[in-house]
Amino acid sequence: MKNKPILKLILILLVVLGLTYIDFKGVDPQGTGSAAEINLGLDLAGGVSITYQVVGEEEPDATEMSDTIAKLQKRVEVYSTEAIVYQEGADRICIEIPGVSDANVILQELGRPGALYFISQTDDEGELNFTVEMAQTQQGYVYQYVLNKTIPELLEDGSILVQGTDVKDAKAGTLQDNMGNSQYAVSLTMTEEGAQKFAQATERAAAKQESLAIYYDGEIISAPAVNEMIPDGNAQISPMESYEKAESLASTIRIGGLKLELEELHSKVVGAQLGVEAISTSLIAGAVGLLLVILLMCVIYRIPGVAASIALTFYVAATIWLLNGFDMTLTLSGIAGIILSIGMAVDANVIIFERIKEEIGAGEYVRGAIKVGFEKALSAIVDGNITTLIAAAVLWVLGPGSVKGFAQTLALGIALSMFTAVVITKYILYAFYDMGITNKKLYGKVVNKEKKVFDLLSKKGLFFGIAGVVIAAGLVTMGIYKFNSGSGLNYSLEFKGGTATTVAFEDAMTLEEVNADVLPMIEDVVDGAVQIQTVQGSNEVIFKTNTLEAEDREALNQMFFDEFGLEESNITSETISSTISDEMKSDTIIAVLVAIVCMLIYIRIRFSDIRFGISSVLALVHDVLVVIGFYAIARVSVGNTFVACILTIVGYSINATIVIFDRIREGIATMKAKDDLKDVVNASIVQTMTRSIYTSITTLIMVVCLYVFGVTSIREFALPLMVGILCGGFSSVCLAGPAWFMLTKKFPPRPKEEE
């Protein structure tokens, strides 16, 4: 039996080596499955950019444009959660999809937005509007629908009663048939006006026992039979061959239901916004940070630290492998999720190792201490990780594209880190023990279970005062900037839009060359950050800046004339909208609020005390407000990574607080009649203090490495994260416990006999 853990250790080491090899080399000579194949976002790898123009002579109004952009955003998220859609000029819409190098493929699949019609099978005279023919394809013979009339003719004779603009939504799903079997289907929801038209069209088709064809972009894509009149505008198309077929049809109907008809103006492949350097520096930062964390863990915890180091190596290798396996898109936001999950993987190990040291200090043998340490640490690890997983799941389901990408990466990292700490680390520790490493001193500096208790609760007024002053400073700063400049925060292009200037240079330039030779000159002319994208296969470079007035545009153009010998024909400028729409903002806020409510419910169930949940949220709100205040005071650019930064801090804060609350719950369970609740809370905070400090340090190490090695955009992302980690540690130790204590004293729990 003693050989069993050793065999498991050998197996774990082989798995780590195998995953590491796959991450670097792949599973075949072509490198399939390697880290090089991970999908990267627009910021890290670039992608395809397609510009559409509204069909028609009249200029579309703002409502129609915003509605079209919102629906297009939902459509292109099929290709990537990181895809973005924004307005250019008065009548153009740009779509940027990461990880794609062939614009023609996207154009073919995306089709022509705004050309969807529902066509009756026959006209009023009984003549067929479409027929079915047999056609030969590469897959064999298939049935195809052929239109017998033109669309204008069908509109004129009343055969088209419902159009794409009458469709409110289309979703793929499953439903039960009369036999109780599940089948794939597409659910249609019409607008209020569309429901009336649809009722008329289905009543007509049902009376004649006919089909209602769905025509899109030059062909009939479906012709479902109509069994009965549908009065409420809610219909299902079934059965579908597969979920993929249902999703494809639903997506096509959604894009065909746009209010505006669009035609392709041009398409191009654009380079990464941050460049190759951002990837290489992030990899260096990750490697250095991980090495420092491993060294720190080994110094502090010795043999358990070595076990944690092997488990962390497994975690990193498995994360890279699963990112590829689940076909996720990695962006700067995704890197935030990975950093948080690495911090939480270390956190779980620290909780376990501190428990083991306590048990050894209480006289337990090493093997027994390992067993009890894992058992006692399990509740804190599970509660902390599940609380964060709940938030990730809600953000995944309800959040907009970029938030979904963050949530996916975070959920993957949290689940894997929990498995790594609870399973992999345990087996490694048992294996070391069974190999004869049994000296207590090798399992860290042994401490007595009873630590010196500081009366932290007596300082709660000071802690709340510090928190209030810091938050007030941020809010006042935001108010001053709002009054003077109209904006409390330094919003980037993603939030407020700007000007896109496309410059055709004489020779092609790399992003690194543009950053070195051109960017400094642009920054001398315009204010604010500048986003740069190179265009593959051309000499063009796109510069996205804050909105430029006429004189600013002239000054910028003159700089290009003077410094690079360009002519006016080489430069074009267009006003662009924000890539983060009002709908995306509202979706994010709703998703975060729902996530907080779900976390509250979970904490209430697990801790049987809503005061724990309220205190957790208060600490969380403190951290968010402090970080937002830092953005205002330091004038750090608020862009796409702002949302990821705030969500990272939310996950970090709630996890750190749960660990302390778990110890308070344990202390209350063992309270005696003579014990004072204040002493229990103080003792619980002190007992978890080491964990709070070590976890903050290890997570900070990762973020500091990103700041030191990263490019400018990554530093702007890392700096607020550092602030968030520090204030997250402060709020967990100094605010959450005291807040719960005050709430308990103010609103004491009812006696058990009354419940």
The one-letter code for the residue type at 438 is: T
pLDDT bracket for residue 398 (50, 70, 90) = confident
At 463 the pLDDT is: 95
At 399 the pLDDT is: 79
Tens-place pLDDT, residues 339-349: 666 766 788 89
Minimal CA–CA distance to 654: which of 354, 315, 391, 415?
Answer: 391
Q: What is the residue whose two structure tokens read 């700089």?
A: 559
Give the residue with greater pLDDT, 256 vs 92.
92
pLDDT bracket for residue 310 (50, 70, 90) = very high
- Helix, strand, coil percent values for the chain (each to nearest 5): 60, 15, 25
Give the residue with greater pLDDT, 42 vs 69.
69
All CATH 3.30.70.3400 domain ranges of the chain, comma separated, are 47-114+266-270, 498-576
Which has the minimum average pLDDT: 146-155, 246-255, 349-358, 736-745? 246-255
What is d(CA 716, CA 637) in angstroms, rounded to the nearest whole number?
Answer: 7
At 109 the pLDDT is: 63
Fold category of 498-576 in CATH: Alpha-Beta Plaits (3.30.70)
| 316-319-324-328 Cα dihedral, nearest 10 degrees | -130
pLDDT bracket for residue 230 (50, 70, 90) = very high
**pLDDT average, residue stretch 596-617:** 88
pLDDT bracket for residue 755 (50, 70, 90) = very low
All CATH 1.20.1640.10 domain ranges of the chain, comma separated, are 458-474+608-628+641-754
CATH class of 47-114+266-270: alpha beta
What is the DSSP code string of 5-45? HHHHHHHHHHHHHHHHHHHHH-SSTT-TTSGGGSEE-HHHH
What is d(CA 561, CA 153) in angstroms, rounded to the nearest whole number?
Answer: 54
Tens-place pLDDT, residues 102-114: 767 666 666 556 5
What whole-number percentage of the chain has pLDDT above 70? 91
* Pairing state between β 92-98 and 47-54: antiparallel
Q: Does the structure show a pLDDT above 70 at 452?
A: no
CA 517, 519, 524, 525 torsion-angle sign? positive
Q: Which two tokens stand for residue 120?
A: 């009756």
- The alpha helices in 635-711, defined as continuous H runs, are 640-669, 677-687, 689-709
Gyration radius from the chain CA atoms:
30
In terms of average pLDDT, the best of 499-503, 507-511, 738-742 is: 738-742
| 292-298-304-309 Cα dihedral, nearest 10 degrees | 30
What whole-number percentage of the chain has pLDDT above 90? 18
CATH number of this structure's domain 116-257, picked from the four choices 3.30.70, 3.30.1360, 2.60.40, 3.40.1000: 3.30.1360
At 370 the pLDDT is: 92
Residue 162: Cβ-neighbour burial (10 angstroms; 0-12, 13-18, 19+): buried
Which has the minimum average pLDDT: 353-357, 533-537, 581-585, 707-711? 581-585
Which has the minimum average pLDDT: 76-80, 298-302, 508-512? 76-80
Which has the minimum average pLDDT: 27-36, 46-55, 569-578? 27-36
Which has the minimum average pLDDT: 207-221, 339-353, 442-456, 532-546? 442-456
Q: Does the structure show a pLDDT above 90 at 523?
A: no
CB 482 within 8 A of CB 526: no
Residues 6+ apart with CB under 8 A from 712: none
Minimal CA–CA distance to 271: which of 136, 101, 90?
Answer: 101
pLDDT bracket for residue 754 (50, 70, 90) = very low
pLDDT bracket for residue 478 (50, 70, 90) = very high
Element (H, E) at 92: strand 92-98
At 111 the pLDDT is: 56
pLDDT bracket for residue 753 (50, 70, 90) = very low
Q: Which two tokens stand for residue 445?
A: 């500096």
**pLDDT average, residue stretch 570-579:** 85
At 630 the pLDDT is: 95
Q: What is the residue whose two structure tokens read 């993929």?
A: 244
The distance from CA 558 to its chain's CA centroid, rounded to whole angstroms, is 41
What is the DSSP code string of 308-353? HHHHHHHHHHHHHHHHHHTTPEE-HHHHHHHHHHHHHHHHHHHHHH
All CATH 3.30.1360 domain ranges of the chain, comma separated, are 116-257
Mean pLDDT, the chain, whole residue set: 84
What is d(CA 475, CA 465) in angstroms, rounded to the nearest whole number?
Answer: 15
What is the DSSP code string of 229-287? ---SSEEEEEEES-HHHHHHHHHHHHHHT-SS-EEEEEEEEE--SS-HHHHHHHHHHHH
CATH class of 458-474+608-628+641-754: mainly alpha
Minimal CA–CA distance to 145: which of 73, 236, 224, 47?
Answer: 224
Tens-place pLDDT, residues 420-437: 989 999 989 998 998 888
Q: Which two tokens stand for residue 475?
A: 């809010």
pLDDT bracket for residue 255 (50, 70, 90) = confident
In the three-class reduction of DSSP (H, G, I as helix; E, B as strand; rest coil), residue 70 is classed as: helix
At 140 the pLDDT is: 64
At 750 the pLDDT is: 67
**pLDDT average, residue stretch 587-613:** 86
What is the reported pTM?
Answer: 0.76
Q: Does the structure show a pLDDT above 90 at 76?
A: no
How crowded is residue 153: how many other Cβ atoms within 10 Å of its Cβ? 14
Give the residue with greater pLDDT, 159 vs 3.
159
How crowded is residue 355: how many other Cβ atoms within 10 Å of its Cβ? 23
What is d(CA 463, CA 117) in angstroms, rounded to the nearest whole number?
Answer: 64
Residue 400: Cβ-neighbour burial (10 angstroms; 0-12, 13-18, 19+): buried
Q: Which two tokens stand for residue 90?
A: 């008065």
- As a whole number of Å, the end-to-end CA separation of the chain is 49
The one-letter code for the residue type at 601 is: I
